[in-house]
Amino acid sequence: MTGTNDPLLTVRDLSVHFPVGGSLLGPRRVVKAVDGISFDVRRGTTFGIVGESGSGKSTTALAIMRLVKISAGTVALGGTEISRLEGEALRRERHRFQMVFQDPYASLNPRKRAGDAILEALNLMDVGAPTDRPARARELFLQTGLRPEQLQLFPHQFSGGQRQRIVLARALAARPELVVCDEPVSALDVAIQAQMLNLMLRLQREFGLTYLFISHDLAVVRHLCDEVAVMYLGRIVERASREQLFARPLHPYTKALWSAAPSFDPDARSRKDRIRLQGDPPSPMAVPSGCRFAGRCPHSVDACRDQDPPLREISPGHAVACLRVDDTGQMR
């Protein structure tokens, strides 16, 4: 989980807005799924993004993978601005960044043998000599904890955890620098989750992989990630190292997430200390002015509804977007 200070992935002012509705009688509305976020992911490390459903974390992953249209901002991978690439230029760079999706059942073609899924990736990315690719597929199976004789099996003959190993092997076939993981273990039971996470850590050490890890599970994030960003309604509201964020969350929304998983906060284990948020997040089609969390925040004041708080650094590596948090990290 260690790497250099050199960022592999650089995201600046990334926005993904989806136009919806509209007719001759009315204007089109816009869903601001991601709305101006910035972060760096250092080589050889794991950067986690957490938040409720609808926070924009999965859309961020899809935008970085160029699977949804970027409305504004830039995404650079090792100095190459992949957000500007199209067509053949994008295809040539695609081997450098691969994705593991949440559902291993939907990620594999049920009519293709597992080995063919790996070979297809090797052929598509033109990895090595064609005659060497079957051996490479077997090697990938072994590296991800599967047996070479299972190459001939179909997806329905594997368990959920085994299928996700196949998906991971397929992603690694291209020898990527960055692997974007969107809730890759959420469909697995807890014991299998631990096996997958340990496998990912081992592969990271062996191949120098960099992970962007999307999750709502704080235990998973705490186990795997080096740095973490907390998203709410399309924005990053707090960003810090894993140690800083779990030891001292600053933003009221981060504290509420931690409170919902009291094993992370021994002082908030009793029900009376648990932070209960009121209501649901606002619609991304009607983003409120000022702080987007103000309507649910137990600490909000009138100024919170008027001023959009910038993400500012409170201590080295620890940034928060909250008007109520002072420069020492205390609530005003």
Distance from chain centroid for Cα 196: 16
Q: What percentage of the chain carries pLDDT values higher than 90? A: 72
What is d(CA 79, CA 75) in angstroms, rounded to the nearest whole number?
Answer: 9
Element (H, E) at 239: strand 235-241
Residues 6+ apart with CB under 8 A from 246: 222, 258, 264
Element (H, E) at 54: none
Number of domains in the chain: 1
**Using the 8-state DSSP alphabet, how is residue 174 labeled?**
T
Which CATH number goes with the domain that contains 167?
3.40.50.300
Degrees, nearest 5: CA angle 101-185-60:
45
E strands in 206-285:
210-214, 227-232, 235-241
In terms of DSSP bridges, do strands 97-100 and 178-182 run parallel, antiparallel, or are they unpaired? parallel
What is d(CA 143, CA 139) in angstroms, rounded to the nearest whole number?
Answer: 6
In this structure, is residue 127 part of a structural domain? yes
In this structure, is residue 246 part of a structural domain? no
In this structure, is residue 42 part of a structural domain? yes
What is d(CA 255, CA 196) in angstroms, rounded to the nearest whole number?
Answer: 28
On whether the CB atoms of residues 179 and 211 are closer than 8 A, the answer is yes
In angstroms, the Cα distances linking 152 to 124, 137, 172 are 20, 11, 19
**What would the two tokens of residue 270 be?**
């009793």
In this structure, is residue 1 part of a structural domain? no
In a structure prediction context, what are the per-residue pLDDT tens digits for the chain, which is 332 residues long?
A: 444 578 999 999 999 999 887 656 666 789 999 999 999 999 999 999 999 888 999 999 999 999 999 999 999 999 899 999 999 999 999 999 999 988 877 889 999 999 999 999 999 888 889 999 999 999 999 999 999 999 999 999 999 899 999 999 999 998 999 999 999 888 788 888 999 999 999 999 999 999 999 998 888 999 999 999 999 999 999 999 999 999 999 999 999 998 877 555 555 444 455 667 777 788 888 888 999 999 999 899 999 999 999 999 999 999 999 999 999 999 88
- Please tell me the pTM assigned to this model: 0.91
What is d(CA 205, CA 265) in angstroms, rounded to the nearest whole number?
Answer: 30
What is d(CA 189, CA 129) in angstroms, rounded to the nearest whole number?
Answer: 38
**Which residues constitute the domain of residue 21?**
7-232
Q: What percentage of the chain carries pLDDT values higher than 70? A: 92
In this structure, is residue 14 part of a structural domain? yes
In terms of DSSP bridges, do strands 178-182 and 210-214 run parallel, antiparallel, or are they unpaired? parallel
**Which of 289, 309, 238 minimizes the C-alpha distance to 32?**
289
In this structure, is residue 292 part of a structural domain? no
On whether the CB atoms of residues 174 and 127 are closer than 8 A, the answer is yes
